[in-house]
Amino acid sequence: MQDDQLKKYKTELEKERGLLFIEIKNDEQPADFGSDIDHSDEKTDQTEELSNHLVASQDLKNRLDEIDVALSKIHSGKYGVCEKCGTTIEKEVLDVAPESRFCKNCKL
């Protein structure tokens, strides 16, 4: 992989990582449901909202982990190599998702 492409992917990954940190930090602040709960339907809605919030937060953390792995591979010189078959990950795959760990064939 050419140095300019590698630098481009690294910049994209670092930018996305920063945005994810901000989003995770904002999501970690608990929702204020207030203390005026009169109906069980309201409690159910609030519980469902909290559950959805936790799932979304975990998805963000998983994405952050994927980005950290990709950045680590850049530093170790192993970026852009499929973890399953060892071939070079296609440019079109990395252009869409620079944190990709697998080539097009192995993703299927």
Q: Is 17 a domain residue?
A: yes
Domain count, the chain: 1
Residue 100 is part of which domain span? 3-28+55-107
Distance of CA 72 to the CA centre of its chain: 15
| 108 residues of the chain, pLDDT tens digit each | 899 999 999 999 999 999 999 998 887 666 555 555 555 666 666 667 777 777 888 999 999 999 999 999 999 999 999 999 999 999 999 999 999 999 999 988
| Sign, CA torsion 102/103/104/105 | negative
Q: What CATH number is associated with residue 76?
A: 1.20.120.910
Check: pTM over 0.85? Answer yes or no. Answer: no
